[in-house]
Structure 1
Amino acid sequence: MILTCLFIFLQMIHIINYFVTSTEVKDFVYLLTRILYLITTICILWLINYDRLKNIFSSGLLFIYWLLVFLATIPDLIDYSVKIYQQIQSVSWWIKFITACLQFCVVLCLFIANCFAEKYNAPEATLHERPLVPEFYVSFPSRILYSWVTPLILRGYRKPLTEKDCWELPMSERTVSVVDQVRNYMKGWKSNTQYEKISMKKIQILDSNSLEDEHRNLLNNIVSNYVFIVHDLTQKKVYLKPTVDVNESSSKNRKTSMFWYALFCAYKEKIFIGALIKLVHDILQFSGPMILKLLLNYFTDLNKPKWLGVFYASLLSIVVFCQIILLRAYFHCQFLVGLQFRSAITGLIYRKSLKLSNASKQETTTGEIVNLMAIDASRFAEVTQHIHVLWSGPLQLLIALILLYREMKFSIIPGVTLLFIVILTNLYLHRIQKKLTVCTKIIDIFLIDFY
C-alpha cells in the first residue's frame, strides 16, 4: 500500500514537471502516459482493499499489472541513461531522470511483493481434520506454475499416500455442496421444498398417539407426490388435495427440468471463464506465425535497427510462453468442471437410488445403477475437456483461411476443397463406427443372456 502511494506521488511529480518546465517543445504522449499511470494506480488501490475484504491472498490481476508496468519502465530508464551526457545541464531533465530511477525501483519492489501471497493464518487442526488445499492461499506464480503441488508429489515419492496426507477441500467444492447446487436448478426444487416444509408443520399438529400409522402414510405420500395437506382440528381428519398434473406445465418449466440445463447453469461462470481462456489461447496461437514472419523479414533488410530484431525475438518467446500457461490453465479449469459434473451426477444417482420403491428396485438392477455412477457419469467429465472445440474449431479454421488467403489468394482453393472432403468423410465414417459399436454391444448382451 505504501509503495503504491509512492508510485502515485512520483506520477504527480512527473505531471507537475511537465507543466512547470520552460521548454517550448512538449511531449503530449509523456503527459498522457503519466495520467494513465495515475488513473490505473488509483484503481489498483481500490482493488487492493477489495481483495483484503474478500480474503484474497494473491491477485493475478495485480501481478500482471505490475509486471507490465515494470516492463514498460525499462525502455524509459535506458533512454534516460543514453541521454545523460547530452542533457547534463538541464534541470528539468535531471528531475525526470531521478524520478524515472525512483519509479523503476518502486515498480520493481511492487512486482517482487506481488510474487508472494499474504500470510495465511491456518486454524488449529484437530486430530481428525486435515489442512486446507494450498491452491486457495498461495501466490499467483505458484498457481500458474502448480508449484504448490510439489510437496505432495515428493511425499508420494517417498511413501504411499493415504487419506491423511491429502488436503481438505473447501466446503464449496465438496460433493454435498456440488449436488445441492445442481438440485437448486432442477425443476420445482425450491417450490417443492417449501410445500414439504408447510406440510410437515401441519402434520405436527395432529395427535401423535391416535394417528401414528396415518402419519407414516402421509409422509410417504409427501415425499413421493409432493401433495398439499389440510388439517381439520374439529374432526381430526386429514384431506389430501389432488396433485398437480406435470403435463400441464409450461414450456419454460419443461425446459428448466432438463438435467443438462441445470448442470450447466450451476457452473456457467467457470465454463465461460474456460471459454475466455480458450479464445485468448487461439488468438496467440495465430500470433506466433505472424511474428515469425516479421522476424524473417527483419533479416532480409540490413538497414533495420538491432533493437527491432531483439524485440521480435522476445515477443515471440513471450507469446509461446503465454500459450503454454493459458493452455494449462484452460485444461485445469475444464478438469475441475468435469470433476464437479461427475460428483453431481454420482451424488444425485446415489440419492435417487436410496428413495427407490420396491417395485422400482425390481425393475432396476444394481449393475445398472453402478454403470450410471461409474461409466456414464465419467463421460460428462470427458465432455467438458473438449466442449469448447464446438466453437473454437470453426473459429480457428476461419482465421486460418483468412491468413492463407492474404498470403496465397485463390491458390488455397484446391487445398481447402480437399480439407472439407476429408472432414465430411470422417464424419460419415464416424457414424458408421458408432452404429457398429452399438450393434457389437447388443450382440455381447445377447450372448451373455444366452449362455
Structure 2
Amino acid sequence: MSEEYLLDDFCGGPFWDYNLTWNTTFPDFTPCFERTVLLWVPCAYLWVFAALEVGYLKRSLDRLVPWSWVNISKMIVSLLVLVLVAIDFFYAVQRSSSGEEVFGVDYAAPAILFFTVFLQLIFVFFEKKRGIQSSGYLFLFWLMLVLCSIPEYRTWFINISDDPDSTDTVGFVLYMIYFPLIVVMLVLNCFADATPEYVHFSRGERPCPETSASYFSRIMFAWLDPLIWRGYRQPLEQKNLWNLSYENASHYVVSVWDNHYKKYMAKNEKKTSTNTWADQTNNANHIEMSEKTENTSKKKVKISILPTMLRTYGPAFSFGAFLKLIYDLLQFVSPLILSSLISFTENVNGNEPEWHGYFYASIMFASAQLQSFILGQYFMKMFLVGLRIRTGVISAVYRKALKISNSARKESTVGEIVNLMSVDAQRFMDLTTYLNMIWSAPLQIALCLVLLFRQLGPSVLAGLGVLIVLIPVNGFIANKTKILQISQMKCKDKRVKLMNEILNGIKVKSCCIIMN
C-alpha cells in the first residue's frame, strides 16, 4: 500500500485531489492535506532547528529581559492556544467515546500542535532569561503557521456557509478562535522586548538601534528609517550617527581574531618545532632523546592569515553564500512562471480557469519580493564580514609592524606597511562581497543555458561558443590589469617612502636650525 493510501486511511478521506485543487474554478485543498502537510511543515521546522536555537541561547552573553507587554502577551496567548488545542484533542476523545467515527488525524493534529506550541513557550521563557530581545526562529515559525492555516480557515468558512447543518460547530468555533490567536502571536513577534538588565557589552551613549531591533525590523531594515528621515529633513552630522554595535566594534573583532590567530600559531609551532628522535648509543643500552639545534636546519616558515580568516569568518561567509544560492535559484523562478503565464494567455479555448492567471502573477510577485529580501540580507552580511576582515587584517599588520626586527624592517618599507593597512585591507572588504561569484556565475550560466536550450534548441550553442571564445580574451585583460596594479602598488610604495624620507629630512633640518 502506498503512502498516499496510508494517509487516506489515516485521515478518513483522500489525501490529495488534483481535480479539487487545480482543475476547478473554485480551488481548495482536501481536509487531509490541510491537517497533515500544512500543519506538519511549521511544526517540523520548529523541532528540526530547535538545536540551533539552543546553541544560540547558550552563546548569548546578555541576561534577564525585564517583563514587558510583549513577553507577557506572548506567554498569555501561547497558553490560550494550548488550551484550545487541548480542548480540540479531548473533543475528539469525547466524539470517539460517543460512538462517532474518529480518525487518527483527529488525535495526531492537536497532539503535535500542542507539543510544538509548548516547545515555543519554553523558548519564549528562556529567551527572556538569556537576554534575547527578538527571535527570528520563532518569528518564522509563526509566519509559516499562519500562512499554512489560511487554507483551513477558508475551508471552515466555505463549509459553514454551504452546509451549516453538517458542519462541526464545535470545531468551527475552536478554529475561529485559534486562527486570530496565532495571527496575534505573529504580530507580537514583530516587536522586540526591552533591553536586558545585564548587558555584557556597553552599547554606548548612542546605541545602534539594530542591536535592539526585532527580527522583522532587521529583515525590512526598518531600524534605519529614523536616520534616513533625519537625513532627508536636514544634513546629517557626527552627533546624529550611532555607535557601532559590539560585534562590529574593533575591540571585539580584534579579540576574536587574536584568539583564532593564537590557536593557529600554536598549532603551526608544533608542526615546525625541532624534531626529536631516538639515538641508541654504542656504549650503553638506553635511548637518549635529543633535539636538532643546528641553526642550519631552521627554515623560515611563512605564516598565512587565511586559516585565521576561515576560522573566524567562515560560518558567517557560508551563511551569506547560502543566501546567494537561494537568490540565484529564485532568479529562474520568474522566467518559468512567466512561461506558464504566457501559455495561459495564449490559451484561446479557455480551458484553464481564470484564477490560474492570478496565481501565476502572485507567484511572480512573491518571488520578486523574496529575492529583494534575500539580496538585501546577503549584501548586509557580506559587507559586515568584509568590514570585520578589514579590521582584523589592519590590527594584525599594525601589531606586526610594532614587533618587526631591524633586519626585517630593511626588507619592508614604511610605504609597504601603510599600503597593507590601507589599500590591501580595503581590497579584502571589496572582494568579500563578490567572492561568491566564483561559483555563482557558472551556476547561473549553466541554468540559463538549460532554460534557453529548452526554448531555442541547438541554436543556444552559438552563444555558448562566444562565451568560450571570450574566456582567453578576458583572461588576457585580467592578467594585464593585474600587472598594472602591481606596478601601481610599487609606485605607491616608492611615493610613501620618498615622502617619509622628505619629512624625516625636514624634521632633522628643523632640529638643526633650532639648536643653532
- Give the TM-score, by structure 2 length: 0.66
1:262-281 correspondence runs (5 A): 262-281=308-327
Structure 2 counterpart of 1:184: 259
Query: Is residue 2:169 matched to residue 1:94?
Result: yes
Query: Is residue 2:467 matched to residue 1:419?
Result: yes
Q: What SS does the corresponding residue of 1:267 show, helix, strand or coil?
A: helix
Q: What is the distance in 1 between the residues matched to 2:160 and 2:152?
A: 12
Range with greater deviation from structure 2 (107-116 or 3-12): 3-12
Q: What SS does the corresponding residue of 1:303 show, helix, strand or coil?
A: coil
Contact 2:131 2:196 in 1 (8 A): no
Query: Is residue 2:121 matched to residue 1:75?
Result: no
Structure 2 counterpart of 1:209: none
CA-atom RMSD in angstroms: 3.9
**Quick one: structure 1 residues 102 and 179, their matched pair in 2 at CA, closer, same or farther if it must change by over 3 Å?**
same
**Quick one: structure 1 residues 96 and 23, their matched pair in 2 at CA, closer, same or farther if it must change by over 3 Å?**
farther
Contact 1:183 1:189 in 2 (8 A): no
Structure 1 counterpart of 2:443: 395
Contact 2:415 2:496 in 1 (8 A): no
Range with greater deviation from structure 2 (102-111 or 351-360): 351-360
Q: What SS does the corresponding residue of 1:383 show, helix, strand or coil?
A: helix
Q: What is the distance in 1 between the residues matched to 2:130 and 2:198?
A: 18
Gaps of 5+ in 2: 1-74, 270-290, 499-516
**Quick one: structure 1 residues 271 and 443, their matched pair in 2 at CA, closer, same or farther if it must change by over 3 Å?**
closer
Q: What is the distance in 2 between the residues matched to 1:246 and 1:399?
A: 56
Gaps of 5+ in 1: 195-240
Q: Percent identity?
A: 30
Aligned pair count reads 396
1:320-339 correspondence runs (5 A): 320-339=368-387
Contact 2:250 2:391 in 1 (8 A): yes
Amino acid at match of 1:263: M
Q: What is the distance in 1 between the residues matched to 2:152 and 2:468?
A: 51
**Quick one: structure 1 residues 148 and 378, their matched pair in 2 at CA, closer, same or farther if it must change by over 3 Å?**
same
Q: What is the distance in 2 between the residues matched to 1:297 and 1:12?
A: 48
Structure 1 counterpart of 2:135: 59
Contact 2:415 2:495 in 1 (8 A): no
Aligned with 1:49 (options 115, 125, 130): 125
Structure 2 counterpart of 1:140: 215
Q: What is the distance in 2 between the residues matched to 1:144 and 1:413?
A: 41
**Quick one: structure 1 residues 442 and 119, their matched pair in 2 at CA, closer, same or farther if it must change by over 3 Å?**
closer
Q: What is the distance in 2 between the residues matched to 1:27 and 1:167?
A: 58
1:227-246 correspondence runs (5 A): none
CA deviation after TM superposition for structure 1 residue 300, in Å:
3.9
CA deviation after TM superposition for structure 1 residue 345, in Å:
1.1
Query: Is residue 2:175 matched to residue 1:110?
Result: no
Q: Deviations over 1:366-388 (max 9, x none)?
A: 33322111111100101100111
Contact 2:264 2:307 in 1 (8 A): no
**Quick one: structure 1 residues 11 and 247, their matched pair in 2 at CA, closer, same or farther if it must change by over 3 Å?**
farther
Query: Is residue 2:165 matched to residue 1:84?
Result: no
CA deviation after TM superposition for structure 1 residue 317, in Å:
1.0
Q: Deviations over 1:94-129 (max 9, x none)?
A: 1222122112211111111111111225889xxx94
Q: What SS does the corresponding residue of 2:191 show, helix, strand or coil?
A: coil
Aligned with 2:237 (options 161, 166, 170): 161
CA deviation after TM superposition for structure 1 residue 341, in Å:
0.8
Amino acid at match of 2:390: R
1:204-353 correspondence runs (5 A): 257-301=303-347, 302-353=350-401
**Quick one: structure 1 residues 34 and 313, their matched pair in 2 at CA, closer, same or farther if it must change by over 3 Å?**
farther
Structure 2 counterpart of 1:215: none
